[in-house]
Structure 1
Amino acid sequence: GAGGSATNDGGAGLAQALGARLLDGEGRELPPGGGPLARLARIDVSALDTRLRESAIVVAADVRNPLCGATGASLMYGAQKGADEPTAQRLDAALAHYAEIVRRDLGIDIANVPGAGAAGGLAAGLIAFCGATVRSGFEVVAEAAGLQQRLAGAAAVVTGEGRLDRQTGFGKTTAGVAEMAREAGKRVVAVVGSVADDEAVNAFDAVFAIVPRLASLEEAMARAAGLVEDRAEEAGRWLGSRPERG
């Protein structure tokens, strides 16, 4: 599973731990991290365990973002990991360069694969060095839980997330639940901490957020349990006042 991470190195650290050598123009191994990838000149995979390529590795990714670009690992999620805008731009450029060297030396395109940007690009590294394939983490869990079958007998669906924002539509669980519920003809509502993107709301029949009613996020966190209960009660009343889809 590739979800939240504190790293943003395109899976380079994973590759080095498995035996790959990432070398600069002087033939020296790069230090860990995403920034040094801007100096990557050559990749040596001769020491990688061949069993990696003989194994079927599936990455369950929590998002559909590519590795690079405006919706890639650095520019979309870098701020969550402490990167300011200039740093995120540098990291994105470093990952784009890394992807080009991977394409040249390994013959694998990782720059634009949906989901390759998951976990700071960890999924991209698994594709490049382990021959992995990427699947939606939501789909993997939904299949294991038999969610589609469970929806068939449901009158409505309630889901939730800490914050509805631009990232929600890139494969997050709430978006997946909403899409599956709509396909099944079920009403779907979300109980969330806050809403940071108006378009994200459109995936649901109704959204109930706790933060807009309060003075601060700190207050919301301190009273989270009771506030979620209140919004869930509102959601229940909303559902009860509207007919089921026929």
Structure 2
Amino acid sequence: MSASLTLISLGFTFWTLNIGDFTISGTADGDFDYDALPGTQHEFKVQVNAGKEECFAQKVALGAVFHVQYEVLRGGDRAIDVVVIDPDIKVTEHDASKTEGHITFKATKEGYFQVCLDNTPYRFSGKLVYIYIVTYIMEEWAQYMEEIQSVSLTAQNFSRSLTEVQTSIDAVKFHQSESRMHVIRDWYLATGNNQHIMYWSIFQISVIIVTSFFQVFCLRRLFRTTAVTPTSKPRA
């Protein structure tokens, strides 16, 4: 059978490969897809037509926890049969005529487990079913969580170090700004003093020059003599 899928936005890649009358979820080489996690998960919506059955297969490692959660979103009385079949083609779980539910068990064998949505008892109404499939090995998941916590602690320490560095940089910028303001203030003060001294020096030079001319004029007038007497007679 072929399934009409409406995929929900996920943080992993989901694809299907038709083999016989069911669909396999996994990787292109058939290996167990951990997707950088100690397990795999798929979340999607599937339209099951009236009187049809849609099956999906997921490879499960030995000892892994296999969890399926489903809910009929619309269609008829919103009831559907859900069947889980093991790699030996034996029914391991069966939920009959349910609107929603979940199935969880620990795999005792490795292989492809089929999850079938059976709508054959309902000949006149199709069903839109939300389904969530996840499988993981508990020990590897615990180790993964420890590694995540370790990475998180390292990231926190790194963030703390970056915060301290940023604080130091801000302090340096503050001191640089303060020093720059002092330099600008000193420059304006020096420029103002220079102009004041220059104008005062010009004034003093002008006074000295005028005083010098006045002294010369006075000395020349003091020692100046005439060739005639006040009565216009020549001096002897």
Normalised by the shorter chain, which TM-score bucket?
Answer: under 0.3
* Structure with the larger strand share: 2
Q: Which has the higher contact order (CA 8 A, sep 6+)?
A: 2
- Mark the structure with the bigger radius of gyration: 2
TM-score normalised to structure 2 length: 0.22
TM-score normalised to structure 1 length: 0.22
